[in-house]
Amino acid sequence: MLRIAVVAALLVSGAALAQTKTSIALLPLTSSAPVFVGVDRGHFKAEGLEVELKFMQSAAAVPTAIASGDADFGVTGLTGGFYNLAGKGAVRIVASQAREETGFRFNAFIVSNKAYAEGLTRVDQFKGRSIGLTTIGSTFHYVFGRLAEKQGWQLEQGQLRALQTVPAMLAAVKGGQVDVIQAPPPTGIAIDKAGEGKLIGWVADHVPWQLGALFTAPKTIAERRPLVERFVRAYQKAAAEYDANFQKGAPGKDADALLEIIAKHTKSIPEAVKAGLPYIDPMARLRVQDIYDQIAWNKANKLVDAAVDAKTVVDLSFVAGHLDLPR
């Protein structure tokens, strides 16, 4: 205890003199927006942190980079692979990232023209239809699974087509080789506009859920707690700025500046970014019950080992006022 206090004191006093170096693994997607805003608008710097962005090739690589010690923090979507790593004590969630929130539009359901012509025009008609995914255990898989549960039909293994990459998944729905996919924004709108497929609904309207999270290694929490606290504080400030500019009806005064920042990091253009912004909780709060539900669903579908305990996957002590706490 004394040791931690000494280390903390050293870190705090050090921050005044020099920036603490840290790093975050992430994908160049709009869902990572709070990190980009935090870096470019000086929120991390204000906490004495110099953050190195480590861009990964796939969502699966992000928690792996934390587990292997290549980065201190990570933000990405929550997958079966993530929970397996978390269950083995390699990563732990500390705050939220993107969320499919009722009333906000992010991922969309896209059906192929062929399926649409056959009458697949509503989100409650996916039973028995071929479904394009990146991988089994991906966020896309989970959404279809929960949708099936809610609508009371059975998602069969045989109707899933794991295509490994988003481009392959998009190509498959355009070519009519699968009936339905979820398209990340703004691709979904673009496909619909180009007549390459039909957008028939939004995920948030049917399966609101905690899509992504900010996480770190349990070891980092144990040994460098003040670092995690400062990081989360800065991240929250960035989330709040994002919320003020994008999620309050009319765009805020800095909206254009933030769009520029996000476009720069996602190698996109501000207009495209604007069309594909996710909902970010203004205080980076998690819907905790949803995390528990995700783990339960993954376990029920044998995607996550039965030994994984939801309580050890999330550390609620860094953000005050988390939502939907489990009883």
The residues binding other proteins (CB under 8 A) are: 60, 63-64, 67-68, 79-82, 84-85, 88-90, 132, 135-138, 157-158, 160-164, 167-168, 171-172, 175, 177-178, 303-305
Residue closer to other proteins by CB (options 48, 74) is: 74
Order of all β-strands in the sheet with 160-162 = 160-162, 131-133, 180-183, 108-111, 198-202
Closer residue to other proteins (CB): 96 or 298: 298
Q: Computed from CA positions of residues 139, 106, 62, 294, in that sequence, does the dihedral angle turn out positive or negative?
A: negative
Min dist. Cβ of residue 96 to other proteins (A): 21
CB of 46 to other proteins, least distance (A): 35
Q: What angle do CA 29, 34, 40 make, to 5 degrees?
A: 95
Minimum CB separation of residue 270 from other proteins in Å reads 30
Whole-angstrom Cα distance, residue 263 to residue 184?
16
Contact 270, 186 (CB under 8 A): no
C-beta closer to other proteins: residue 273 or 310: 310
C-beta closer to other proteins: residue 42 or 167:
167
Minimum distance, C-beta of residue 78 to other proteins, in the bound complex (Å) = 13
Q: How far is the CB of 165 from other proteins (least distance, A)?
A: 9
* Smallest distance from other proteins to CB 240, Å: 33
Report the distance separating Cα 212 and Cα 57, nearest Å: 17
Least distance to other proteins, CB of residue 164, Å:
5
Please identify, using beta-carbon distances, which residue of 42 and 175 lies nearer to other proteins. 175
- Given the complex with other proteins, which of 51 and 213 has the nearer CB atom? 213
Shortest approach of other proteins to residue 81 CB, angstroms?
4
Minimum CB separation of residue 99 from other proteins in Å reads: 23
Give 141 or 237: the residue with its C-beta nearer to other proteins: 141
Closest to other proteins by CB, 39 vs 180, is 180
**For other proteins, the closer CB: 68 or 151:** 68
- Full 3-state SS string of the chain: CHHHHHHHHHHHHHHHHCCEEEEEEECCCHHHHHHHHHHHCCHHHHCCEEEEEEECCCCCHHHHHHHCCCCCEEEEECCHHHHHHHHCCCCEEEEECEEECCCCCCCEEEECHHHHHCCCCCHHHCCCCCEEECCCCCHHHHHHHHHHHHHCCCCCHHHEEECCCHHHHHHHHHCCCCCEEEECCCHHHHHHHCCCCEEEEEHHHHCCECCEEEEECHHHHHHCHHHHHHHHHHHHHHHHHHHHHHCCCCCCCCHHHHHHHHHHHHCCCHHHHHHCCCEECCCCCCEHHHHHHHHHHHHHCCCCCCCCCHHHHECCCCCCCCECCCC
